Amino acid sequence: MEKVLMKGNEAVGAAAIRGGCRYFFGYPITPQNELPEYMSRELPKVGGVFLQAESEIAAINMVYGAAGSGARVMTSSSSPGIALKQEGISYIAGAELPCVIVNMMRGGPGLGGIQPGQSDYFQATRGGGNGDYRHIVYAPASVQETVDIMTEAFDVADQYRIPVLVLGDGMIGQMMEPVEFRDPPTRELPEKDWITDGTAGRRAPNIINSLYLAPQDLEDHNRRLDAKHRLITERETRWESFRCDDAEIVFVSYGTASRIVRNAVEMLREQGVRAGLIRPITLWPWPQAAFDALGPSVRALMAVEMSMGQMIDDVKISAAGRWPVGFYGRSGGMVPDQHAIAEAAVAMLETATQEVR
Amino acid sequence: MSEHKIICAGFGGQGVMSMGRLVAYTGMLNGREVSWLPSYGPEMRGGTANCHVIVSDHPVGSPIIHRDATAVIAMNLPSMRKFEAELVPGGLLVINRSLIDATPDRDDVTVVPVRANEIATEVGNARAANMVMLGAYLGITRLFPLSAVGEALGKVFGPKKAQFLPVNEEALARGAALAGQPVG
């Protein structure tokens, strides 16, 4: 198929429709407004429904209802709006329903700003809602990768009956890059025999619920969810290792920040510093295996984020004391600069060398 | 490795976004790797709407241009002041002389003054000043032949706005002629 030049937000919409999405419920917020705008124009053309809800909370609960009736459904927002949806996400995860949520992150906390940020890592991977739940988090780094993930996300959600969060930021949403729409790998999807679409008097009612009052019932439910989370970790973890083979310092960075880090890696290599990059594509499940595969040449890790340091916690867990873990970050909508990243890496390597001596 | 990193900047309404998008679009149609990154913040209302365009032979890493612009196309004075610092030594600073009556601070870059507003008015559409500036840029860098940009313009405009095509193509050609590139 021919490549087209598309803005990230619109490409997300096109990919969602291609992935089978027919229902969109949302509430406007910068910097993702082109996405609902696109859906409001395009969904009716394929027999779908776009509805601007009265609030983010209403929108996520409409998603809950539509998912329960078997629809392919999504919502989107940006950081403070996603914060409002957390209760609904916990309920959807508890009721084991499939849906897709897009967060084009901006700086925070609170209303923050409208420029790109990555300060919702904790919210995305730890859950802003209550209870023992997880959901898949994809963190694409280009418009093409966003499209590929978005097209597949509805299948993944259906396969595991779990919410899927696609975590971009203002830059991914606003920038234009060439994209090609292609079909995702085929998955075997279970029949949706659990949906509440009316019994027609022919079967017992299906019930969608997240309430388990008997402790033993709830613990059994928690154990089932945990087994599902382990299965997803085993099968769906994704990452990219870039020039890690002989690296002395390995950056860890995702999404927009990882693109700048990639430039820093090239710059450092030209200066004779052997740098590499682990780029998690799924933030949950987290790519522990990428760290275990690192060779003896590695002397230090450095997390680079558009936040004051959130993903670094997972990097430290994965390092498990094997390597010192440094950090470079910008926040508030400021975007890191490859020169500063490279300088921080060189400084860290010098410190690491002195400590060995 | 050939990589062009261009910042287009000006007032909102001067067509800096569409100028950048046209470069990215032409690049894509000609098999290059491209990215187009717009400003979307409050500065859009304050005089320096801008976009970063990268056209490369290799996949684009960071879409942000930071102290490594090969060219800045500045449609007004605040844009020149803000972005000239982003140029690499030897970079190209195309400035709209119609609106910029000041000297750049940089003395290590090539400055190309273009009376874009006057030329655009001469070709019959004052709003085509952005195309005059782009033409001048293309005339000097020869990033693409003007015919390739014309083709891309046709696709961007679509059949509904085809009547605007000739004036835009002429504006491009007039800009390019300033640098001595034959009209083609």
Contact A339 B67 (CB under 8 A): yes
> Is residue B183 in some structural domain?
no
> Is residue B90 in some structural domain?
yes
Distance (Å) from the alpha carbon of B40 to chain A's nearest alpha carbon = 8
Residue B183: predicted pLDDT: 45
* Confidence category of residue A127, pLDDT binned at 50, 70, 90: confident
Contact (Cβ atoms closer than 8 angstroms) between residue A133 and residue A90: yes
Domain A241-356, CATH: 3.40.50.920
Residue A27: predicted pLDDT: 98
- Digit-coded pLDDT (tens) for A287-330: 999 999 999 999 999 999 999 999 999 999 999 999 999 999 99
Cα(A31)–Cα(A24) distance, integer angstroms:
17
Write out the residues of chain B at the interface with chain A, using a CB-CB cutoff of 8 A.
21, 24-25, 28, 33-38, 40-41, 60-64, 66-67
* Confidence category of residue B184, pLDDT binned at 50, 70, 90: very low
Mean pLDDT on B131-157:
94
Distance (Å) from the alpha carbon of B62 to chain A's nearest alpha carbon = 5
Asked if the model's pLDDT at residue B1 lies above 70, the reply is no
Residue B156: predicted pLDDT: 80
Which chain A positions have a beta carbon within 8 Å of B54's beta carbon?
none
Higher confidence at residue A174 or residue A352?
A174
- Sheet with B110-114, side-by-side order of all strands: A4-7, A176-179, B33-38, B49-56, B3-10, B69-74, B87-96, B110-114
Cα(A137)–Cα(A165) distance, integer angstroms:
5
Contact B63 A171 (CB under 8 A): yes
Residue B158: predicted pLDDT: 81
Domain count of the fold of chain B? 1
Distance (Å) from the alpha carbon of B25 to chain A's nearest alpha carbon = 7
Distance (Å) from the alpha carbon of B146 to chain A's nearest alpha carbon = 20
Write out the E strands in A114-191: 136-138, 163-169, 176-179
The ipTM value here is 0.93
Task: Tell me the residue range of the domain where B54 lies.
Answer: 3-178
> Is residue B126 in some structural domain?
yes
Mean pLDDT on A346-357:
82
Asked if the model's pLDDT at residue A1 lies above 70, the reply is no
- Digit-coded pLDDT (tens) for A278-291: 999 999 999 999 99
Contact B36 A176 (CB under 8 A): yes
Contact (Cβ atoms closer than 8 angstroms) between residue A279 and residue A145: no
> Is residue B184 in some structural domain?
no
Same fold for the domain at A4-236 and the one at A241-356?
A: yes
- Digit-coded pLDDT (tens) for A201-255: 999 999 999 999 999 999 999 999 999 999 999 999 999 999 999 999 999 999 9
Asked if the model's pLDDT at residue A355 lies above 90, the reply is no
Write out the residues of chain A at the interface with chain B, using a CB-CB cutoff of 8 A.
3, 5, 30-31, 114-115, 170-171, 174-178, 259-260, 262-263, 266, 333, 335, 337-339
> Is residue B138 in some structural domain?
yes
Written as one string, the DSSP assignment of A263-282 is HHHHHHHHTT--EEEEEESE
Contact (Cβ atoms closer than 8 angstroms) between residue A85 and residue A101: yes
Residue A68: predicted pLDDT: 98
Asked if the model's pLDDT at residue B180 lies above 70, the reply is no
- Digit-coded pLDDT (tens) for A45-92: 999 999 999 999 999 999 999 999 999 999 999 999 999 999 999 999
CB pairs A-B closer than 8 Å: 56
Asked if the model's pLDDT at residue A187 lies above 60, the reply is yes
Tokens of B43: 């500065």
Distance (Å) from the alpha carbon of A199 to chain B's nearest alpha carbon = 50
CATH superfamily, region A4-236: Thiamin diphosphate (ThDP)-binding fold, Pyr/PP domains (3.40.50.970)
What is the torsional sign of CA A64, A66, A71, A74? negative
Task: State the average pLDDT for chain B.
Answer: 92
Contact B21 A114 (CB under 8 A): no
Considering only alpha carbons, which residue of chain A is nearest residue B60? A259
> Is residue B131 in some structural domain?
yes
Considering only alpha carbons, which residue of chain A is nearest residue B39? A174
User: In a 10 Å sphere around its CB, with 0-12 CB exposed, 13-18 middle and 19+ buried, how is residue B33 labelled?
Assistant: middle
Task: State the average pLDDT for chain A.
Answer: 97
* Confidence category of residue A196, pLDDT binned at 50, 70, 90: very high
- Residue A300, φ and ψ in degrees, nearest 5: -160, 155
- Digit-coded pLDDT (tens) for B113-139: 999 999 999 999 999 999 999 999 999
Check which CATH number belongs to the domain holding B77 and give it: 3.40.920.10
Residue B47: predicted pLDDT: 63
Cα(B156)–Cα(B27) distance, integer angstroms:
13
Q: Where are the domains of chain A?
A: 4-236, 241-356
